[in-house]
Structure 1
Amino acid sequence: MIFDPVYDENPICSAKGCRATAVWVLAWNNPKLHTPERRKTWIACDEHRQHLADFLDLRGFLKEVVALDEWNSRPGGTV
């Protein structure tokens, strides 16, 4: 079985040491490693959303921030 934190029933924030329920998806890619259409994901609780987004944006990796419910309802919105 493959674990996918975005689609897990109890998704946990990607911030180090955080055990809060995630409610946001931060879609990103590293253009040096990934094709432009590829999206990697981190998930975040309300408290860590901005911190994680700033970290990715500073490096030019952040593509979008979307509510977890919206992300999961997208057709073909796999990670």
Structure 2
Amino acid sequence: MDLTPDETDDPICNAKGCTEPATMAVRWNNPKIHAPDRRKVWASCPGHVAHLENFLQLRSFWIDTVPLEQADRR
């Protein structure tokens, strides 16, 4: 998920099947298809942060996790 200014102020967790409000931004990059400075963002509820980070870390895609309000919304 790329966060854009058009999105609602109440994003939902991007974990499959989750409908909880997102509070964290799990930022990642696939170096095979994205420029090095590109950051993709998955919104996450507190209960899915570790799961999403682990998924991305296994693929060496995870960059960092920050509070959603600190995520770059460009």
TM-score category, normalised to shorter length: 0.7 to 0.9
Question: Residues 40-79 of structure 1: matches in 2 within 5 Å?
Answer: 40-71=40-71, 77-79=72-74
- Helix, strand or coil at the partner of 1:27: strand
Counterpart for residue 11 of structure 2: 11
Give, in angstroms, the shift of residue 4 of structure 1. 3.8
Per the normalisation by structure 1, the TM-score is 0.81
- Cα distance in 2 for partners of 1:10, 1:78 equals 14
* TM-score of the two chains, using structure 2 as the length reference: 0.86
**Would the aligned equivalents of 2:27 and 2:41 in 1 still touch at CA under 8 Å?**
yes
Paired position in structure 2 for 1:34: 34
Equivalent pairs counted in the alignment come to 71
What is the aligned partner in structure 2 of residue 23 from structure 1?
23
Identity of aligned residues (%): 44
Secondary structure class of the residue paired with 2:55? helix
Distance in 1 (CA, whole Å) between partners of 2:38 and 2:4 is 16
Taking a change above 3 Å as real, the CA distance of residues 78 and 9 of structure 1, as seen in their structure-2 partners, is closer
Question: Which has the higher relative contact order, 1 or 2, with Cα contacts under 8 A spaced 6 or more apart?
Answer: 2
> Cα RMSD over matched residues?
1.8
